[in-house]
Amino acid sequence: MGPKVDRDTYKPIWKHQALDMDGIAAAGVRVENRQVMVNKEMPTVTAPSLQPNMGQEESFLIKMLLRQTRRPEVGDKFSSRHGQKGVCGLIVPQEDMPFSDLIMNPHGYPSRMTVGKLIELLGSKAGVLEGKFHYGTAFGGDKVTDLSEVLIEHGFNYLGKDFVTSGVTGEPLSAYIYFGPIYYQKLKHMVLDKMHARARGPRAVLTRQPTEGRSRDGGLRLGEMERDCLIGYGASMLLLERLMISSDIFEVDVCGQCGLIGYSGWCQYCKSSKDVSTLKMPYACKLLFQELQSMNIVPRLSLKRYNEL
């Protein structure tokens, strides 16, 4: 159904301004928050004589494709045409930067061996000065010696390096910097889509541990390698907090005589409540013990008093 029209101005109301005459938002229309993109209305039929004929309505599937304009920010992923991908680590004020947009760590070259990127940078710098297109790959086309001659003709270093002054201190840097224009593309992995944090939230029914994944408001996983770091630092209480207290801590009653799990201070195996203690363990651990018992494997917990240790 088409947009609702204001009676005074005969124009669509603000909520329906994005809609076309068919009730669906037109292509390329700017949509603001709380505006309707698909308008579906159904008249309420109260006349009893018309009720038996209902149910013949058609069903449609409408898919909307939304587009956003996003400025690059810290954490967004970029890549050159040579597979040198990486995330933006710092956005520097314009006055503190040379006339290039991006600084790359040179340690990425020896292992990846993307020589074509260096040639592309040299070729694009020569092309800008000469006003020509250059073929900047490692497989043919313009030779490095030819590109170097173009740079020398225009008063630049033949290697593509430049003399750079610090924008912070105003002093010249103690090394030549190899820089020039190069083609970069922004990849779809953006920090805005991945940003996620949680204090408390939903838990899995079986294990009672936090759910997995950002879409399900899941917890932030501390994996095996992170655990190794905490062990290396000797941060045992932090390890306990992350792996049990913040995860699936659970109180269980354990019999001191048989070592089996009881319930409400009562040991069903010993038929007594004399030596039953309460302790905390991960719920997944308690679940493991019960699953082992279901397979006729009896795990027993050995308890000791503080004065016995």
What are the tens digits of pLDDT across the range 261-297?
999 999 999 998 888 999 999 999 999 999 999 999 9
User: Does 275 map to a domain?
Assistant: yes
User: Does 114 map to a domain?
Assistant: yes
Confidence check: pLDDT of 256 > 60: yes
Please give the mean pLDDT across all residues of the chain: 88
Residues 244-256 have a mean pLDDT of 94
At what angle are helices 144-153 and 115-130 packed, to 10 degrees? 40
Domain count, the chain: 3
Q: What percent of the chain has pLDDT over 90?
A: 55
CB 229 within 8 A of CB 222: no
Do both 37 and 107 map to the same domain?
Answer: no
Do both 128 and 37 map to the same domain?
Answer: no
Report if pTM > 0.95: no
Do both 32 and 106 map to the same domain?
Answer: no
Range of the domain at 170: 84-186
Q: What is the CATH number of the domain that holds 278?
A: 3.90.1800.10
pLDDT in tens, 174-222: 888 888 889 999 999 999 999 999 999 999 999 999 999 999 999 999 9
**Domain finish residue from 138, 156, 186:** 186
- The Cα–Cα gap between 41 and 45 comes to 13
Do both 264 and 182 map to the same domain?
Answer: no
Q: What is the CATH number of the domain that holds 112?
A: 2.40.270.10
User: Does 62 map to a domain?
Assistant: no
Tokens of 297: 């494997």
**Cβ-Cβ contacts under 8 Å for 210 (sequence gap 6 or more):** 198, 201, 202, 203, 204, 218, 219, 247
- The Cα–Cα gap between 240 and 280 comes to 11
Which of 185, 213, 183 has its CA nearest to residue 76? 185
